[in-house]
Structure 1
């Protein structure tokens, strides 16, 4: 048993790939299952639109004589009856109701797809945030170690050199600030993993993310796929639902006839059957008012859909500008600033080891730490913006 546990221990401790987390969340997240349950309910609603209205049945005893309420043979009008009434929908009403229910189901289905896209985006954002924290902790850990080494290296010179002593004090203050920052990031890391575990619908202890920065795709590629936006699809489906409701309300002005059949039993006389026919009289204009209200609602939904698309186009342009900005900053830091600061470290390395210029070295260390943090943030910002653009174009991977 111990050997089996040891064999599977590396798998239990290994990081979970981001793709696996996304697949699990899409399959098992409770928020998506709730919408899926509503979809199943819509199927029953569609089925019910094919049914007639429930028939009505009534039992009646009329002409009860107070002289003897148990005697049902006193005169011909004393009857015991059973009456059955059935309404029949006028032509096209059931088809219109079915079309409306199907349109409503389409709205629900597209809202499910929109929720999936948003869930994937949140998982990516949280995972990228964890990557950022881990990279920051890695950099801070390296600088803490370097700072400690240089403090120890220059402690021997502090007794005779005031400048070296001042440099050590400055380095110790820097070390304290690094420790504070490390503690803050460790706390943030715990919160991010708690959030990711909820989004993934399972406990996540470690996530495998590899963030790269490459030249952005052309804006035109995102613009062409903007029609795949799930939110816009849901808005368009709401327009179709409103259009189908117009048809239902328009047909509501057509009267639904009903047939009524009654069987009447008489104690001392012949039984008889009564057949009736009737309909509602739509004389108050309620149906026409409802139809006009449905038309106005359809116009409103159409305007909302167009406004949503225009807003998406504006947001797309803004996000793409952020993507280009993050890429430009990354290239400046990676290609220009980092090589320069590395060269400056090489120039001061020898003097620091000989007990000189520790203060200058610490200042360079702060500058490099700032550049490393900017490089990490530029990388995360680029990938988060790219994730938002993917979500805007309906991507779930």
Structure 2
């Protein structure tokens, strides 16, 4: 039977996806990323046509005069608008700037997706680790009950102790049931993020000395939010240039051919010009300049926000590491010593509830240790997200 279980666990582990595999798959399948990719593809067509002239206008007019009249004619005419040359150039620059915004949006979306997957995976690890701790604690309580029954005679008071110990086992079962539900819920979230059905995960978390602040600070040069804001400013710059070019008039070329049944046919040629005399274009130019100043101010505010978030994440990493060291190196070692003394004195009639209380303290400390490991890794993942990491 044991061999069968080991074989089952071996193949189960082989089939479990690693976190890297899940992230790679999600970056290929996530619908939100596909939406941005399609927008990029659509924008490429806009770039190709952005410096083209507008379509010419073709018209045919006739009148109802008698054909013997000189003014009786049918006119075929064509009109073409020739914009101020800088307008076409600036339209193309604007389309290219929009492409830059879309690419930066894609990188930001990838970084956010990777972080959300990591956060969910780390939560699954945390819940599973707590579940295993509950199982271990359950076995220790059973061991305490068995030792107590083996070495002591049970009177009425001790019978109550036994019942309280058994009640603590029931409480552990309830906690395990709740954890199982939470784990299943987290796998549902993970499946949504990855656009795939995922019910197993091979992930292992550990904790190590916190990297120096400077080494992590240097990663922020590739912050996706700042990169996106920079591209948005470039796009707004292109809008300013285009609005400035729109102040200048456009030329309109007219050509026509008049057909008369009893008189000579003739050509009509004309040149027109738009007259931006009402100040609308100038007002729009001023508006675009103010929007540019707004974008630049937003970038400064964003830089401050990113630095504050980094500081907060780093402090939480350091705090999680410090808590882990205290719990792992001091508190749990002390609890282990207390348990050893308690088990050694079982034969002398040690109160069972004392052992249970020690085990409950041990469980709480182990849960705090697990929480510290999870918190450390989640905040590290947040810092990596600030750096634009996509793996």
Q: TM-score range by the shorter chain?
A: over 0.9
Deviation at 1:368, TM superposition (A): 0.3
Are 2:135 and 1:141 equivalent residues in the alignment? Answer: yes
Are 2:234 and 1:233 equivalent residues in the alignment? Answer: no
- Whole-Å separation in 2 of the counterparts to 1:213 and 1:348: 31
* Counterpart mapping for 1:143-222 below 5 A: 143-155=137-149, 160-222=154-216
Are 2:382 and 1:388 equivalent residues in the alignment? Answer: yes
- In the alignment, which residue of structure 1 is the partner of 2:59? 58
Structure 1 counterpart SS, 2:361: helix
- Whole-Å separation in 1 of the counterparts to 2:187 and 2:85: 59
- Whole-Å separation in 1 of the counterparts to 2:46 and 2:139: 66
Deviation at 1:150, TM superposition (A): 3.0
Structure 2 counterpart SS, 1:45: helix
Contact residue 97 and residue 248 of structure 1 kept, 8 A: yes
Among candidates 101, 104, 115, match of residue 98 of structure 2 = 104
Deviation at 1:176, TM superposition (A): 1.7
Are 2:319 and 1:325 equivalent residues in the alignment? Answer: yes
* Counterpart mapping for 1:118-129 below 5 A: 118-129=112-123
Are 2:85 and 1:84 equivalent residues in the alignment? Answer: no
Deviation at 1:138, TM superposition (A): 0.5
Contact residue 243 and residue 288 of structure 2 kept, 8 A: yes
* Counterpart mapping for 1:230-309 below 5 A: 230-309=224-303
- Whole-Å separation in 2 of the counterparts to 1:222 and 1:111: 23
- Stretches of structure 1 that go unaligned for 5 or more consecutive residues are 1-5, 66-71
Are 2:340 and 1:346 equivalent residues in the alignment? Answer: yes
- Whole-Å separation in 2 of the counterparts to 1:378 and 1:11: 28
Structure 1 counterpart SS, 2:291: helix
- In the alignment, which residue of structure 1 is the partner of 2:50? 49
The range that moved more, 275-284 or 11-20, is 11-20
- Whole-Å separation in 1 of the counterparts to 2:378 and 2:67: 89
Deviation at 1:156, TM superposition (A): 6.4
- Whole-Å separation in 2 of the counterparts to 1:179 and 1:11: 24
Deviation at 1:179, TM superposition (A): 1.1
Deviation at 1:188, TM superposition (A): 0.1
Are 2:363 and 1:369 equivalent residues in the alignment? Answer: yes
- Whole-Å separation in 1 of the counterparts to 2:242 and 2:12: 58
Deviation at 1:160, TM superposition (A): 4.1
- Whole-Å separation in 1 of the counterparts to 2:258 and 2:38: 48
- Whole-Å separation in 2 of the counterparts to 1:312 and 1:235: 13
Contact residue 49 and residue 98 of structure 1 kept, 8 A: yes
Contact residue 144 and residue 355 of structure 2 kept, 8 A: no
Deviation at 1:154, TM superposition (A): 3.4
Q: Aligned pair in 2 of structure 1 residues 272, 365: CA closer, same or farther (>3 Å)?
A: same
Structure 2 counterpart SS, 1:93: helix
- How many residues end up aligned between the 2 structures? 384
- Whole-Å separation in 2 of the counterparts to 1:11 and 1:347: 39
- Stretches of structure 2 that go unaligned for 5 or more consecutive residues are 1-6
Q: CA RMSD in A?
A: 1.9
Deviation at 1:13, TM superposition (A): 6.2
Are 2:47 and 1:35 equivalent residues in the alignment? Answer: no
Contact residue 232 and residue 309 of structure 1 kept, 8 A: yes
The range that moved more, 311-320 or 161-170, is 161-170
The range that moved more, 342-351 or 271-280, is 342-351
Contact residue 13 and residue 202 of structure 2 kept, 8 A: no
Deviation at 1:274, TM superposition (A): 0.4
- Whole-Å separation in 1 of the counterparts to 2:156 and 2:79: 108
